[in-house]
Amino acid sequence: MAGNVYEWCWDWYSSTNYSTAKAGGETDPRGPVTGGQRIWRGGSWNSYAKALRCSGRYGLSPGSTSNTCGFRCARSAAE
């Protein structure tokens, strides 16, 4: 997941979501129900080495375009 392009994620971005979720004991928080930015993770081909990690999370408007951001198709095992 790290490298090549940042990966768009389904969750809406909130700068305080993880601190709130940790206090409640959540291990995989979904994020807020709505928002103005989606999360993107993983770093890209032109990122500094410290940004090339899956745990880094950044917010970007869904209408934005960039040659450093993409997406990964996935499906649940139940389907």
Strand order in the sheet with 38-41: 57-60, 38-41, 6-12, 69-70
pTM over 0.85: no
Q: So what's the pLDDT on residue 2?
A: 66
| Residue 36 confidence class, pLDDT cut points 50, 70, 90 | very high
- The domain spans of the chain are 6-70
What is the spatial distance between Cα 27 and Cα 24, in angstroms, rounded to a whole number? 9
Q: Please enumerate, as own/partner, the contacts of 49-57 that have beta carbons within 8 Å and a separation of 24 or more.
A: 52/2, 52/3, 53/2, 54/1, 54/2, 57/9, 57/13, 57/18
